[in-house]
Chain A
Amino acid sequence: MGEYIWLIPSFPLVGFLLNGLLGRRMPKAFVSWVGCLSVFLSFLFSVFTFFELLRLPPEARLIEVDIFDWIISGEFVTRVGFRIDPLSIVMCLVVSGVGFLIHVYSVGYMHEDPGYPRYFTYLNLFVFMMLILVTANNVLLMFVGWEGVGLCSYLLIGFWYEKDSASNAGKKAFIVNRIGDYGFLLGIFLLLFSLGSKGVWTLNFSELEKNVNLLNENVISLITLLFFIGATGKSAQIPLYVWLPDAMEGPTPVSALIHAATMVTAGVYMIARLHFLYNLAPETMFIVALIGVLTAFLAASIGFAQYDIKRVLAYSTISQLGYMFVGVGVGAYAAGIFHLMTHAFFKALLFLGAGSVMHALAGELDMRKMGGLKKYLPTTHWTFLIACLAIAGIPGFSGFFSKDEILWKAFSSNRGSIFIYILGLVTAGMTAFYMFRLLFNVFYGKERVDEEIKHHVHESPKIMTIPLVILAILSIIGGYVGVPHVLGGGAHFEKFLEPVFKVPHEGEIHHPLSLEIGLMVLSVVVALIGIYFAYLYFLKKPELSESFVQKYPNLYRTVHNKYFVDEIYGFLFVDNLLRFGRFMKNVIDEAIIDGIVNGTGYFLRGLGSVLRFLQSGYVQAYAFSIIIGAILVVGYLLMKVTS
């Protein structure tokens, strides 16, 4: 069955084609079945493949198959081929598993939408592209998925295209991603060029890994840095994170699937996939970890002062992605991927929970108009609570294991540093604070819901709550596959991924167990402090938070406005580009270049009216004079040259 791994991405492709071509003319049930079933089949097939892998000895867990030749030009050869190894199967399971739950949820959430078939068409296309991204066996095919998910993101953010804010957000996402992809593309060129000049022309991951020693270190640093620029676009890191908050214009399940659980993790996956390059580029690794932790901190701080529940979740996504980059940046690839997985569970759950709240409140997003929803939305509430506990890193929940693993590695690994660890730890406390701020404002305290809406508040239908429950269960148990040795676990997750990353154990500094336990306790304490302050400020004494805002109006305004980064970018890049474009069009093109062309024309016409007597009006005469003229000129030239 190894040869059939290409089926994993194929099911959603079929779903996309069916719904895309027939969806508009078919009943809704057809669309829903095609949409959900195709992703479910991918999931099922991934599960089979997973067990297939488990049956192999660890070092032989790699299935690779080339399907057909894609681009072949001279020495350059790329094939469409797939690769399943522990890393990609984890991604397949997460993408298709979480993706399936979100498809099911969407059946309920999007039921009333007139664009229902279009929605599922895009959603299937997205899953297809994402699966291509994670199963590709070469960089260029991965790039197809990479840009493909960007396209789907564009289409789904702008799904309600009649709203200008939605279509603007979609366009922004695509263009910002393209800026990152520019770096990615240059990385590919440099990689191909550098290996090519050594006689090796390949983009296949296994081949690259074998030949990586042909490259010199500076080149590797540059290549990995260029790839990382691509990752900052796709995975919303500094400086290209600005598109993600705006992406919340899309339907909420889209935010759950694309802008939390799957697509945005592509950058982390890419670095893990190319770990053999990154391992040789310590400078780049440091930059990755640094950007990661700075992004985590910055985004968390913005999360303090947002009232739109989806925006809070968006910034928390950016922040959590930062953690994953810290993980891969300090060489703890398995920890990064581990957090990617647990985050997929609890962040999808948070977004779907937010969707359920919106569903109940007729689309309301402002948490100042919520409060006390606990008793109206019991299932949504307790699943949301579990997700908050998970993201805050409370022991027993999945986020605890994965986040702590990253913090520990940031502290202990020889690639880590104390600065990154401390900033990460502080961010963990901030995360707990702003997430519980959200939880308390939405589900607890005074009811601030508009009277009109209040009568209609209702729990969502089963088709939406069941995915919530499943995700809630995953948000708890998802962490137990990777319980570290220090807590008596087997670190199964890390062990499963080991054949991919081949973690070099030499040179690792050994720390006493008590230190590891101590730091673990420290991070739990920090999280609890965050929760306590959220409780104090937003539940017990809400006036405290108001007085804080009044005391520091400028600080509050700056943070609330996201440090004005959008405005600065707008001024620096967008306005200047438009101004430059206008100048180029009006002055350079139309006045100068075309002016010269037309000026020449008018000059000749003026000359012509003087020489009118030569104009007989006979075409033959013109042709004759052209040829005579030509011969004269050529004759002159030749005489000059040959004499």
Chain B
Amino acid sequence: MTDLPILSILIFFPLLGSIVLLFVNRERVYAIKVIALIFSVLEFVFSLPLFFLFDEGKKGMQFVERYTWFPEWGISYFLGIDGISLLLILLTTFLTVLCVLCSWTDIKTKVKEYYISFLFLETAMIGTLCALDLVLFYIFWELMLVPMYLLIGVWGGPRRIYAAVKFFLYTMAGSVLMLLAIFALYYLFYRQKGFFTFSIFDLYTTYVPLSIQYLLFAAFAISFAIKVPMFPFHTWLPDAHTEAPTAGSVILAGVLLKMGTYGFLRFAIPLFPKAAYDAIPIISILAIIGIIYGAIVSMMQPDLKRLIAFSSVSHLGYVMLGMFAFNMQGVEGSIYQMLNHGISTGGLFLLVGMLYERRHTRMISDFGGLSSVMPIYATFFMIVTLSSIGLPGTNGFVGEFLILLGAFRAEKIYGILGATGVILGAIYMLWMYQRVMFGTIKHEENRKLKDLCGREILILSSVVFFIVLMGVYPKVFFKKMDTTVEEFLKFVSERKAYYATVDTQQKLSSISDLGGRR
């Protein structure tokens, strides 16, 4: 492995792009777009070696960088990735390129600030995925909020301010809970080991008494559940998606939501394994409600973006269900579904954005019969729709199948209930597709709609490429996460067992105490 601080480069390269953009004259819109594109493409190219250099057989973190930052408080600049963050980083750099491309003609005002925000957002996202120090993580985590808030609030639709404030306050509320829990854990560790640290690997070894473990897990879990979003914390999502510009929705669905599920995997579960295990019924049931509820509410939405937003609630329900199955199939399926959702739902938002750019409406009832005027668009839309409903042969199937298998293994009823989403998914997606694409043209404006241009075909072809690759040959990606997930499961079950023994010892000693008193 090279000594190049590759993760730092990946984190700060987009930031460099933002800084470069600061010095470009705002009138030179084309130059701004080209610079943003170059930076995002280079960033994607830089992230590819990660994939090939990543040693899939090796346990633990790779590409680790660690420098002390505030040694007296135990804060360090600590980066590293495993199979899970590797795949999510690649998803991020890939989607960012598509976002820059799809904003090409979509964004017409404050173009300079737009791309600055976007590249800044990329820095924050990759930072969040690489950080192994809780303070560093929290900084990046909060940093993501700012550009996203701006993307919705400045370049969004008519109710953008409401949506942006709701998004910001809701996630902020969760973050504050998490911050409290971080400090508590930090202090607890200090009391036990006598030194301060924010490194998660140190903190993993903290013994968290059960009474407080539930509280801390709840704080982390609520914070992440808002981000996911899990039912019933989901209502900020449809508003944020509807009002955000296309690229904002793509990155929100594609990456930001995954920060919630990633947070569970990296922090909430391994830090508080006993509480996580005990929370299986609650989380699984909420996940199943999310799957079914998201699908049913999605079905009734008149607005395309809201429909897709609720479908995200349903899909993320699968992710959570698989994760809390705590077996290989469930967890791997869950991680795979995170990627799938990024590709498929990202693709759906891209498609809706392309329509919006042409017609300036997202209402399903304003469309109908588009297949005859936009045949190429219709084909892409069909493929992405099928991927979203998990047709075998597409990426969605692999994830859904493994998740449901994992859930079934863990608790049959979870699998049985979760699988109803397979039917509901087909209903709401195909009904939507029918109303938009089939039938005769009812609105004259739609008759003149232009089919996709070369740039749009390029964007969607890359989405379809991954839909097929991930559906037909998932091994490429599974190979990268196998070791990580095995290790994760082993660690969590060992820690859970450890808590169980401590628990029995305490019970025994309390019994002997009683005996002594007598």
Contacts and interface: CB of A to CB of B under 8 A. Distances in A.
B497 interface: no
Given A73-B332, A193-B408, A597-B235, A171 B188 contact: no
A182 B372 contact: no
Contact of B430 (A174, A181, A186, A196): A174
Nearest to A129: B393
Given A196-B409, A637-B212, A626 B434 contact: no
B163 interface: no
Contacts of A147: 391-393
B430 A175 contact: yes
B188 A638 contact: yes
A73 B431 CA distance: 33
A68 B476 CA distance: 12
A561 to B, nearest CB: 25
A642 B191 contact: yes
Interface string A610-643: 0000000000000000110011011001100110
B280 to A, nearest CB: 18
A506 interface: no
A575 B296 CA distance: 13
Identify the interface centre among B297, B422, B440: most chain A CB within 10 Å of its CB.
Answer: B297
A594 B232 CA distance: 9
A185 interface: yes
Contacts, number: 161
Interface string A22-42: 001000000000000000000
Interface string A188-218: 0110110010000000000000000000000
B235 A76 contact: no
B184 A185 contact: no
Nearest to A632: B180
Interface stretch (A260-268, A348-356, A581-589): A581-589
A124 interface: no
A22 to B, nearest CB: 13
A171 B391 contact: no
A178 B232 contact: no
Interface in B192-220: 209, 211-212, 215
A581 B310 CA distance: 12
Nearest to B188: A638
A182 B423 contact: yes
Contacts of B409: 193, 196
Given A69-B475, A638-B187, A641-B211, A143 B392 contact: yes
B431 A171 contact: yes
A175 B427 contact: yes
Interface stretch (B15-23, B152-160, B399-407): B399-407
Given A71-B398, A182-B419, A193-B409, A582 B300 contact: yes
Contacts of A634: 180, 183-184, 187
B356 interface: no
B432 to A, nearest CB: 11
A42 B278 CA distance: 55
Nearest to B376: A24
B300 A594 contact: no
Contacts of B408: 186, 189-190, 193
Given A74-B329, A593-B232, A185 B439 contact: no
Contacts of B478: 71-73
A175 B428 CA distance: 10
B467 interface: no
Contacts of B391: 147-148, 151
A641 B423 contact: no
Nearest to B231: A593
A144 B427 contact: no
B113 to A, nearest CB: 19
A132 to B, nearest CB: 9
A118 B259 CA distance: 41
B293 A584 contact: yes
A458 to B, nearest CB: 30
A642 B191 CA distance: 10
Contacts of B188: 638
Nearest to B406: A73
Interface of A: 24, 68-76, 140, 143-144, 146-148, 151, 154, 158, 161-162, 164, 167-168, 171, 174-175, 178-179, 181-182, 185-186, 189-190, 192-193, 196, 577-578, 580-582, 584-585, 588-589, 593-594, 597-598, 601, 626-627, 630-631, 633-634, 637-638, 641-642
Interface of B: 166, 169-170, 176, 179-180, 183-184, 187-188, 191, 209, 211-212, 215, 232, 234-236, 293, 296-297, 299-301, 327-329, 332-333, 369, 371-372, 375, 386, 391-393, 398, 401-402, 404-405, 408-409, 412, 415-416, 419-420, 422-423, 426-427, 430-431, 434, 437-440, 472-475, 478, 482, 486
The 8 closest A-B pairs by CB, nearest first: A74-B328, A167-B438, A144-B392, A161-B438, A594-B235, A189-B408, A585-B300, A581-B300
18 contacts: A70-B475, A73-B328, A73-B333, A74-B329, A74-B332, A76-B402, A162-B440, A178-B422, A186-B408, A186-B415, A192-B405, A578-B299, A580-B296, A581-B296, A589-B235, A597-B170, A597-B235, A626-B179
